[in-house]
Amino acid sequence: MTRLLEVTDLRVRFNTPEGIVHAVNGISYHLDEGEVLAVVGESGSGKSVSMMSILGLIPSPPGEIISGRALYQGQDLLQLDEDELEQIRGREIGMIFQDPMTSLNPVLSIERQMTEALLQHFNMPKSEAKHRALELFEMVRIPDPANRLSNYPHQFSGGMRQRVMIAMMLACNPSILIADEPTTALDVTIQAQIVDLIQEVKDKLGMALIWITHDLGVVASIADRVAVMYAGRIVEEADVDTIYEDPNHPYTKSLLAALPRIDQRRAGRLKSIPGTPPNLLVEPRGCSFAPRCDIATDRCWSETPPLIPTTSTHQAACWLSNVKVREAQ
């Protein structure tokens, strides 16, 4: 299987009046052709920043990439200038953001926004770009595409605006699509439709997909592999079945325990994770999850655990991943 993207030791900081925010703290991951990688974690864990930084989308200042590589087709994205990144964003790597209302320009028609990337990347005649936009509207099942194309963002519902964003990102048929919590602002029924739609077009066009989410319930139906993030680090990575059947990291176990289940009756309230996420103004020392973990040892507080392989396809950043975590299941 062809390796499309390989990120190594990515570290991102933000210089703020309160101090330095250690947003991403040395993550490494890869994405293969046609694969779906889910990146899961609480708000503030560094999921979105890690993806936006490789595309040059974080403001600098205050954002700053301290170290890392992001190899895409032999090029290190972190070493490209803005003009070079402009040729990759949208055309090679597309990104769907979680709030389509703030991603779409409210004073420009949908047609203009839909055709912009086609005109820029392929120098199409306007008539051909409009025809392509109509095809994309049909693909994402927006009714009456010929008339809706001339509308403005406020004339679409939340679910339809998200479909517009998906169509825009598919315009150039990218190799990689990054979906940053694309269903967060939608009701449950529309969420399911958007998940099904993205999966359908991904399979039809043969793209690889990175799905950023805090909802492990969505992950089960769409992902091949899962990377769980906490406090700017990947704390566990495995194929999706293993994550659900045999999680090794206490944080992953806690996220799964907090999910409502329809296959079993619960005697009481859903479990919650005690405490709060760490303050990233303080550089993490030791295991960042230790203050919220009921099996942490002295070593967990003083030494940062690396991703420790438990099988050939499963790794967890936990000193106890092979012993007490399994016993605590």
Distances (CA, A) of 4 to 42, 72, 73, 184, 227: 27, 6, 6, 27, 17
Residue 261 has what pLDDT?
A: 67
Residue 324 has what pLDDT?
A: 43
Average pLDDT, the chain: 87
Distances (CA, A) of 264 to 248, 250, 326: 22, 22, 21
Residue 6 has what pLDDT?
A: 96
Q: Which of 69-83, 211-225, 255-269 has the lowest mean pLDDT?
A: 255-269
**27-62 pLDDT tens trace:** 999 999 999 999 999 888 999 999 999 999 998 889
Q: Which of 131-140, 172-181, 253-262, 291-300 has the lowest mean pLDDT?
A: 253-262
Is the pLDDT at 242 greater than 70, yes or no? yes
The helix/strand/coil state of 39 is strand
pLDDT class for 101, splitting at 50, 70, 90? low
pLDDT class for 2, splitting at 50, 70, 90? confident
Cα atoms found within 13 Å of the Cα of residue 158, Cβ hemisphere only: 14
User: Rounded mean pLDDT of 63-91?
Assistant: 91
- C-beta atoms surrounding 147 within 10 Å: 8
Strands 233-239 and 225-230: antiparallel
Q: Residue holding tokens 């004339």?
A: 155
User: Rounded mean pLDDT of 2-20?
Assistant: 94
DSSP string, 73-120: TTEEGGG--HHHHHTTBTTTEEEE-S-HHHHS-TTS-HHHHHHHHHHH
Q: What would the two tokens of residue 103 be?
A: 């991603």
What are the strands, taking DSSP E only, across the chain?
A: 3-16, 19-32, 36-40, 63-72, 75-76, 93-96, 176-180, 208-213, 225-230, 233-239, 308-311, 314-316
Strands 75-76 and 308-311: unpaired
Question: What torsion, rounded to 10 degrees, do the Cα atoms 238, 242, 244, 247 define?
Answer: -70
Q: What would the two tokens of residue 3 be?
A: 């390796």
Q: What would the two tokens of residue 244 be?
A: 């659900």
pLDDT class for 328, splitting at 50, 70, 90? very low
**149-172 pLDDT tens trace:** 999 999 988 888 888 888 888 888
Letter for the amino acid at 211?
A: W
